[in-house]
Structure 1
Amino acid sequence: MDFLTEIFVLGMPVIAIAIYYFAFYNKSNDDYWRKLPTLPEYLAEHPECVTDDDENARCCHCHSDKVIFQPLTCHEDPRYKHFCLNCKRVLFRSKSIL
């Protein structure tokens, strides 16, 4: 291998780790996500929001059942925030099992 190839091959893991850290697990994103309640915590505080779906709930603000989830930062992020499509409030968090 020539010198530039060695630098490229050896530097790629460092670059990948840095991108992973800043894109997914930077402290402010992780702190925000961890402050959100989990679904069991959310339902304990808002028992009127229980639905037939064991993995979802109604919105405690507008009582809409249109609660969806999205990744916290990007498609590959396993952390999800669940929010109400009607009033746009973030309600609780979950994590991908895959």
Structure 2
Amino acid sequence: MFQLLLILLGAVVLFFNRRDSSQRVWARLPTLNDYQTRYPEKTEDANTIRCIHCDSDQTWEYGLESLMDHRRECVCLACGHRLWRKEQESLAIQ
């Protein structure tokens, strides 16, 4: 019984540690405005922003922990690098 409780406790700790880790990685990403300010040569217009690693304009945005998570991050579809983060107001908990 003690071993089962120890395994369950370990799983809970790992779950919350992973969740905390993805939040820290997300928070270190530049915001979209910061990305555009740092790399103005990669911003052609509001709809076309290029990757700083491979110059692709193909990006994908997704929620940090789920499809509906208001914390969004954008990655390059060509090379897979994380590019910027943003918070989507309409998905935030009111």
Task: Tell whether the structures are fold-level matches, with TM greater than 0.5.
Answer: yes
Q: Does 1:95 align with 2:87?
A: yes
Give the Å deviation of 1:69: 0.5
Which 4+ residue blocks in structure 1 deviate beyond 3 angstroms? none
Q: For 1:93 and 1:57, how far apart are their aligned partners in 2?
A: 13
What is the aligned-residue identity percentage?
Answer: 34
Q: Does 1:61 align with 2:53?
A: yes
Aligned match of 1:38: 31
Q: 1:14-29 to 2 correspondence within 5 Å?
A: 26-29=19-22
Amino acid at match of 2:42: C
Amino acid at match of 2:23: D
Report the RMSD for the aligned CA atoms in angstroms: 1.9
Aligned match of 2:45: 52
Gaps of 5+ in 2: 1-14
**TM-score, normalised via structure 2 length:** 0.69
Q: Does 1:76 align with 2:68?
A: yes
Amino acid at match of 2:37: A
**TM-score, normalised via structure 1 length:** 0.66
Amino acid at match of 2:27: R
* Larger gyration radius, structure 1 or structure 2: 1
Gaps of 5+ in 1: 1-21
Aligned match of 2:12: none
Q: For 2:28 and 2:67, how far apart are their aligned partners in 1?
A: 21
Q: For 1:68 and 1:58, how far apart are their aligned partners in 2?
A: 12
